[in-house]
Amino acid sequence: MSIEPEPLSPRRSHPLLAWLIILAVVVFIVLRVRSQAEKQQQRIESQIEAFQTRLLIGSARLHPSSRTQFAEQAMKLAGTRSCFQQLQLVLIVEELQGSEAARKRLREIRERISTSALPATEEEKKLLGLLEDVVEQRALTPREENELKDAFGWLAKLVLSPPESAEHERLLSQAERTALVVQVFLVAGFVACVLGAILLALVVASFRKGRLRSGLAPPSGNGGVYAETFALWMLLYVGISALVARFAGQAVPILARESVMLATLMVLVWPWLRGVSWKELRQDLGLTTGQGAGKEVLFGLGTNLASLPILVLVFALLSMVLRQLRQATEGGDPFGPGLPPPHPAAEILLRGSVWDKVQVVLAAALLAPLVEEILFRGLLYRHLREATIRLGPTASVLVSGVLSGLVFAVIHPQGLLAVPLLTVLALAFALVREWRGSLIPCVVAHGVNNAVVTLVLIGGMAG
């Protein structure tokens, strides 16, 4: 894949200054995200643990003959975890195996605490006593029940409700629904991976036979101006985000807050002020319908499928590396998921109202893809392609795709552990942008990816 040779007289610009601004803003965003993540990480992790608990108990309900296996799986997780997490696992054992098995686990925990083998806070020791009362079927005061529910959430509500009551059945139905959604997602994901692998093989074969051609417009010499524009966008993005957080906060509907980010596209006036015509800008950034909007939408859907097998492979490798690092450096839990931290919107999806969730889906599937693709696969990728054109077509495409993908990944709030996955996804968007020329496939692929993730999470926690 290639575009025409570099023009002889590129437009005068200041790409070096632009990159200094870009890197400075990236560092600022990374530090800000890390600070915010530390404040809300424990709260989000507790919601993710609730999701995992519902999944485990729901799976046991769907497969009654395997209840013992699911309980043993929960027991394996207890070995090197904190006191609070082990107490949480006692409640799972109580539900799946009964009071005798839970009583045994509580005795082991108390012995480990008494010998200082398991560090425990005063609050955790109090929770241990309350759980012993629950297992021994001693009556709890309303205040004590609320303390357990505040600490263990959904799981405490399940264990404290009478086994044959309507409330107990309702909570178990929620867990079953979570397990069903995840199982359907896994089956659909497996089928999508197979189709994606076939599609990816066809694309690679076409590339090797020289059938793929770049759809980018020939170099216009505007790449440096686009670097300036992207740098201006980053400054504007940080400024507007700070203003919205300070003066709007949670009082403004989610969709309204996210819609404000559309205002950042006003930076597209900068190329016009620098002498770039609207026609040039549209062609350079891919703001066209390509070979037809319908056809480009199909290529966007195909991009999701073809990138899925690579994402699964990268995720598996990342999880394996993280597990090995935890075992080698901290003696951590070898059965832990090794997942990157969740997006802050996860808390809204898990606990927000129906309208809040609808707004998050709309923002994730429509607004974010539109703005981000114009900026990253439009402005930044186009700048990098012109800046690296002397490397040759293939190297220029890969370098431009990876660099623009890294910037895209690092400024996202999932944290540095998610960077490899997001970079791979962004590279897939860049490759289809190179091939098709239009941004439509990128926006579609980005939107579908975001929509699937948010809808699965909502479905799993519904009820």
Q: Residue 342: pLDDT above 60?
A: no
Flag the least confident range among 64-68, 196-200, 214-218, 265-269. 64-68
Can you list the pairs that 82-88 forms with residues at least 24 positions away whose Cβ atoms lie under 8 Å?
82/119, 83/109, 83/113, 83/118, 83/119, 83/120, 83/121, 83/124, 83/128, 84/124, 84/127, 84/151, 85/49, 86/118, 87/124, 87/127, 87/128, 87/131, 87/152, 88/49, 88/53, 88/152, 88/155
Grade residue 241 by pLDDT with cuts at 50, 70 and 90.
confident
DSSP letter string, 255-275? HHHHHGGGGGGGGGHHHHHTT
**What's the pLDDT at 436?**
94
DSSP-derived secondary structure letter, 81: S
Tens of pLDDT along 366-379? 999 999 999 999 99
Look at 95 and 457; give whichever has higher pLDDT. 95
Q: Residue 289: pLDDT above 90?
A: yes
Tens of pLDDT along 309-329? 999 999 888 878 876 775 665
**What's the pLDDT at 8?**
44
Tens of pLDDT along 118-132? 888 899 899 999 999
Q: What is the mean pLDDT of residues 260-278?
A: 91
Mean pLDDT over all residues of the chain? 83
Q: What is the mean pLDDT of residues 17-36?
A: 84
Contact 62, 175 (CB under 8 A): no
Can you list the pairs that 99-107 forms with residues at least 24 positions away whose Cβ atoms lie under 8 Å?
99/135, 99/136, 99/137, 101/71, 102/131, 102/135, 103/135, 103/136, 105/75, 105/78, 106/131, 106/132, 106/135
R_g of the chain, CA atoms, integer Å: 26
**Residue corresponding to tokens 């980005």:** 446
Q: What is the mean pLDDT of residues 271-288?
A: 94
Q: Residue 336: pLDDT above 70?
A: no
Grade residue 38 by pLDDT with cuts at 50, 70 and 90.
low
**What's the pLDDT at 21?**
95
Q: Residue 3: pLDDT above 70?
A: no
**What's the pLDDT at 73?**
66
Tens of pLDDT along 423-434? 999 999 999 999
**What's the pLDDT at 338?**
42
Grade residue 401 by pLDDT with cuts at 50, 70 and 90.
very high
Grade residue 282 by pLDDT with cuts at 50, 70 and 90.
very high
Look at 305 and 217; give whichever has higher pLDDT. 305
Tens of pLDDT along 54-84? 888 888 888 877 776 776 666 665 444 678 8
Can you list the pairs that 230-234 forms with residues at least 24 positions away whose Cβ atoms lie under 8 Å?
230/18, 230/22, 230/375, 230/379, 230/380, 230/383, 231/17, 231/18, 231/19, 231/21, 231/22, 231/25, 232/267, 232/270, 233/264, 233/267, 233/375, 233/379, 234/21, 234/22, 234/25, 234/26
Burial class of 228 by CB neighbour count within 10 A (0 to 12, 13 to 18, 19+): buried
**What's the pLDDT at 75?**
62
Taking residue 453's Cβ as centre, other Cβ atoms within 10 Å add up to 17
Q: Which residues, 6 or more positions from 451, have their beta carbon under 8 angstroms from its beta carbon? A: 361, 364, 365
Kindly state the percentage of the chain with pLDDT values over 70.
81
In this structure, what are the phi and psi dihedrals at residue 270, rounded to the nearest 5 degrees? -60, -45
Flag the least confident range among 39-43, 85-89, 264-268. 39-43
Tens of pLDDT along 96-123? 888 888 898 899 889 989 888 888 889 9
Look at 82 and 170; give whichever has higher pLDDT. 170
Q: What is the mean pLDDT of residues 272-292?
A: 93
Grade residue 339 by pLDDT with cuts at 50, 70 and 90.
very low
Q: Residue 244: pLDDT above 80?
A: no
Q: Which residues, 6 or more positions from 28, have their beta carbon under 8 angstroms from its beta carbon? A: 238
Grade residue 287 by pLDDT with cuts at 50, 70 and 90.
very high
Sequence length of the chain is 463
